[in-house]
Structure 1
Amino acid sequence: MTVIAKVSAILDAFGADDRGLGFAELQRRTGLAKATLHRLTGEMVEARLLDRAGDGRFHLSGYLFALGMRASVERSLLEVATPFLEDLYERTHETVHLGLREGAEVVYVAKIGGHRQARAPSRLGGRMPLHATAIGKALLAFAPDPVRAEVLASPLARLAPRTVTSPLILRRQLDEAAATRVTFEAEESAVGIVCVGAPVLDSDDLAVAAVSVAGPATRFRPQQHAGSVKAAAAGIAAMLARRKSSA
């Protein structure tokens, strides 16, 4: 492994639920030699990529967060999308997401929810399989053909009892989404959560992002908010296109 690969392995060892990792756990997760890990974590602390707490546990640093916010694509997208996401929240008062596709996963780059937001498995910066979420299906329905084909040919992990694991059913859902530009999830990522999503499309009708609203199955009716979600996604797409044309 190169030094960069080792540093990447250390950063990737931190999960979304971690509240710091001790040296032994970090070594277990990375598989790096003790001397190598000791040297690299020290250099990463000096470079502000890691913070070391008083108890010796390591944390991802605030500097890393600042670097992530400088990513031009996400920054521009968030600047454009935020007013639409806030408006969508005011219309629904449920949990609103903005996500990007990375491989066969959706990465959540924005999440807005009030005091009564549903206990959804999504989290800011977290990842979920494309096939198990409405926002992921929106990204997958408008992904390049090779991406869609690869997901459909791969095993579809079951996250909940109602997760779609049949490629035939998923293909049918994606075909419908391609026609309607809206997707739905019925307790497929977690029991009790339902969701509606829509893609943010570029001039080639490929998804650059997707928007969704999720709520508890006991009170949220996704079909009633499909129009609002589609309008928000279309508004974001139009603003991105306007910025691109004026750049």
Structure 2
Amino acid sequence: MTAIETPERDTDYRVPALQRGLTILGLFNARERVLAMTDMAERLDVSTSALYRIVQTLVDMGYLQKVGRNAFELGPQVIRDGFAYLASRDIVEVAMPQLNALRDRTSLSCHLSIREHTDSLYLYRAFAPQRLTVNIPIGTRLPCHGTALGRVLLTALDDAGLRLLYQHLRLDDYPPPAPRTLPELQALIARDRERGWVLHRSDYSTAIATGIRDHNGQVVAAINLSGPDAVMDGPEAQATFLQALFQCAAAISAQLGYSAAG
């Protein structure tokens, strides 16, 4: 049985064009970076005409690109998707033990997120098993400008970047305390960037978030501590939690190659 074969009972569920397209992408490797249409047809034991529409679709989607009249290589979309996945996976693997330890020290829930367009995408949670806790499932997407994690992620952008990102989004469609205009958002993120952390209250809970930096010093992810207001209210409690959060973020960033001294 080859890598693309499935048990006979499953053959009715196959999508032949999709199967063939993925098989074409699998033909490329470190030793064979460029393949002609005839090479692909020969490997798959089909005619070039049978591959033409599939190859053209892969080109249009950016998964293949032409390097000659009838020669192709893997396109930028493969690279983008692959590195995005690996980067997210690396951050989760590095952050997981640190966030679990932070949860155990504070008895508060911790979350890790990255930015996708204007959303904060939750990649990991260290859930605190207490009666009143904040528990946002992995895979949840929330608007960046309305959450502590999201606002930290937006600090990676300057005013021009924020303007470009939000030029087609109506901020006044979102309820307060989220900013209602682009200038208000830009001013808020500028203060967040200078402070290095964000506190946000909603629905009887409080979240404190800060950024994770990569080897270039860029904010690539954010982590938070979140819990009921009764636990997190007060300057002493917040200072204690903020110190623990900063220590956790520094440990994760260091493992990603960030050096504060550099």
Q: TM-score, normalised by structure 2?
A: 0.58
Question: C-alpha separation between the residues in 2 aligned to 1:167 and 1:214?
Answer: 27
TM-superposed deviation, 1:115: 1.9
Pair 1:218 & 2:240 matched: no
Q: CA deviation at 1:144?
A: 5.7
Q: Does 1:200 align with 2:217?
A: no
Aligned-residue offset at 1:231: 2.1
1:241 maps to 2:257: yes
Contact residue 142 and residue 205 of structure 1 kept, 8 A: no
Flag the structure with larger Rg: 2
Q: CA shift at 1:146, angstroms?
A: 4.5
1:119/1:163 Cα in 2 relative to 1: closer, same or farther (>3 Å)?
farther
Mapped partners of 2:135, 2:190: distance in 1: 26
Q: For the structure 1 residues 81 and 182, does the alpha-carbon distance in structure 2 shift closer, same or farther, using more than 3 Å as the test?
A: same
Cα separation, 1, equivalents of 2:109 and 2:173 = 23
Gap change, CA 1:117 and 1:145, over 3 Å in 2: farther
Deviation for aligned residue 1:117: 6.1
The unaligned stretches of length 5 or more in structure 2 are 1-11, 20-81
Structure 1 residues 206, 114: CA separation in 2 closer, same or farther (over 3 Å shift)? Answer: same
1:20 corresponding residue in structure 2: none
Supply the distance in 2 between the matched residues of 1:161 and 1:121 (Cα, whole angstroms): 22
Question: Do the aligned residues in 1 keep the contact of 2:114 with 2:153 (CA within 8 Å)?
Answer: yes
Offset of residue 151 of structure 1: 4.5
Task: Map 1:15-54 onto structure 2 (within 5 A).
Answer: 42-43=13-14
- Offset of residue 214 of structure 1: 1.1
Report matched runs for 1:9-88 at 5 Å.
42-43=13-14, 71-88=85-102
The whole-number CA distance in structure 1 between the counterparts of 2:255 and 2:109 is 23
Q: 1:72 to 1:95 in 2, by over 3 A?
A: same
Percent sequence identity over aligned pairs: 23
Shift of residue 42, structure 1, vs aligned partner: 4.0
Aligned residue number for residue 180 of structure 2: 165
Name which of structure 1's ranges 70-79 and 104-113 shifts more when overlaid on structure 2.
Answer: 70-79
Which deviates more from structure 2 when the two are superposed, residues 103-112 or residues 210-219? 210-219
1:232 aligns to what? 248
Give the conservation status (yes or no) of the 8 Å contact 2:159–2:186: no
Q: Is the 8 A contact 1:95 1:117 kept in 2?
A: no
Output the CA distance in 1 between the equivalents of 2:159 and 2:183: 16
Of 146-155 and 99-108, more deviation after overlay is shown by: 146-155
Which amino acid counterpart does residue 85 of structure 1 have in structure 2?
Answer: L
- Deviation digits for residues 49-103 of structure 1 (CA, Å, limit 9, x no counterpart): xxxxxxxxxxxxxxxxxxx9x9321221112111211121122211100001111
- The letter of the residue matching 1:216 is P
What is the distance in 2 between the residues matched to 1:196 and 1:148?
A: 22
Deviations 1:207-229 (A, max 9, x none): 11111111122322373322221
Moved beyond 6 Å, runs of 4+: none
Q: Contact 1:198/1:229 (CA < 8 Å) preserved in 2?
A: yes
Which has the higher mean CA deviation after the structures are superposed, 169-178 or 121-130? 169-178
CA contact 1:184–1:197 (8 Å) conserved in 2: yes
Bigger mean CA offset, 225-234 vs 141-150: 141-150
CA offset digits 1:164-209 (Å, max 9, x no partner): 334344323211221121111121xxx2221110011124432111
1:91 aligns with 2:69: no
